Chain A
Amino acid sequence: MTEDEFAAYQSLSGETEDHRWAFGTGFTDPLEGIDTSVPDSVDAQALATYCLMLGDDALVYSHRLQQWMTRMPELEEETALANIALDLLGQARMLLARAGRAEGALLTGGNGPDEDELAYFRDEHEFRNVRLVEALDADFAELAGRLLVFSAWRLALFARLAESADPVLAAIAAKGVKELTYHRDYAAQWVIRLGDGTPLSHGKMQAALGTIWPLVDELFEADPVTAALPGVAADPAGLRGEVGAVLDAVFAAATLDRPGGAPMARVAGKSGRDGVHTEAFGYLLAELQSVARAHPGATW
């Protein structure tokens, strides 16, 4: 049997789905063979929601970064961004799968929803991502600024989660730390190059930070899900000092000012973590989900 015949046989026999692409059929399980039982001391429902929060941040931001493909100023930047988006998509897949399994632990004899069901078949209000990741960047400066803030924050968060009492979340975070270190360095170098560049690039970089800044405060807000997971989740407020110091160091090297201005208002007391999103998010989700919803269960 040749390798191609072997692949065809496996696909037809359903033994593996390695050589099929599909929505909603679980073509590969990113947590296959990993013990995903939830430790007794951990609130499974809260853990499922927490993993959704972190997974949605990565899924939505990865999609936004993918929309930059073919629009980057140089091929090297195109490659860099594709790699960063792929790392985040990988993190999203594992976190959504972890959320589904933790959810399944509450049911009897079920695995819970898989990563595809969570990514493609939830509605806007069911997504738990922060609002920072939703907007389409107006220009390259905004891309660099948003990526710097996002990766500096997520790196600080994952460094803490590497010690989480949930071993699966700890493993995903420990892996992510290595990737996010590269993302943060990449973004920092661009923010410095633009900020400390020409008067035009400096002006655009400073303006971009002003656009992003109202969404930064939300990253450090307390939420009830995190509060219900002592030893498992990381307190967002505890990240503020470390992330602020990193951003200030970059801004100083870039001759940029840390923006002021009020945080974006919550809506009836709710924000991204509660499922309340900005206008841009609906359009993003429509694009992300339309094929899967038009052809549910399709394989090719």
Chain B
Amino acid sequence: MTRAGDSWASAGEADLDAARAVAGAVPDPELPVVTVADLGILRDVAAEDGRLVVTITPTYSGCPALREIAHDLQYRLSQAGFAEVIVRTALAPAWSSDWITAEGRRKLRAAGLAPPNRAPKGPVPLTLGDRRGPVLCPRCGSGDTRQTAAFGGTACKALFRCEACREPFEYVKEI
């Protein structure tokens, strides 16, 4: 890995830590209140044959944010002095909303977005009623909320309304 005015051999782990910090701070294009590290999209930052290799994973198969994220990683790391940056995609294991960190959940809530409940494990039976349990209103904390649409403005969100404070809010779906 080459870094302007420096050499990988002498810089070593410190450089990799710096790269991790820069990559981890990249905001998600669709949910800019959280970073790719908060969401668990950033899987790995490593040195490989003198190059910096950053591995990311898509949240949803068709997520158009992925190439924006790759671009942002390339840009920010190049600005930080990393000359050769490769962004790779990992498909397995599939992203789960359970990977959103405690810090990420706090930031979502602070921005008025309800963080996801625990994702179902294993085969999912057909549910004709409610399977996810109460979704708490990010504004007033009430569990008296109602889903108004199963899909929101992006693939990762659903629309809810709080029956207590009457405010609508978005919920990050559990997958």
Contacts and interface: CB of A to CB of B under 8 A. Distances in A.
A176 B75 contact: no
A3 B128 contact: no
Interface string A246-278: 100110010000000000000000000000000
A28 B67 contact: yes
A32 B96 CA distance: 21
Interface string A68-109: 000000001001101110111111011000000000000000
Q: Residue among B67, B78, B79, B87 with the most chain A CB within 10 A?
A: B67
A19 interface: yes
B4 interface: no
A175 B58 CA distance: 9
Contacts of A87: 60-62, 155
Contacts of B71: 7, 10, 16, 18-19
Main DSSP-derived SS at the A contact region: helix
A152 B127 CA distance: 12
Interface residues on B, range: 35 or more
A175 B159 contact: no
Nearest to B175: A178
User: Which size class do A's interface residues fall under?
Assistant: 35 or more
Given A80-B149, A185-B126, A185-B150, A167 B62 contact: no
A186 B151 contact: yes
Contacts of A80: 149-151
7 contacts: A3-B75, A18-B67, A79-B152, A88-B62, A185-B126, A186-B151, A249-B126
Interface of B: 55, 58, 60-64, 67-68, 70-71, 74-75, 78-79, 86-96, 120, 123-124, 126-128, 148-155, 159, 173, 175
Nearest 9 pairs between A and B by C-beta?
A: A90-B62, A33-B88, A90-B61, A171-B92, A171-B91, A76-B149, A80-B151, A86-B62, A175-B94
Given A83-B154, A84-B151, A87-B62, 11 more contacts: A1-B79, A31-B89, A79-B153, A83-B155, A86-B60, A86-B155, A88-B62, A168-B91, A171-B92, A175-B61, A175-B91
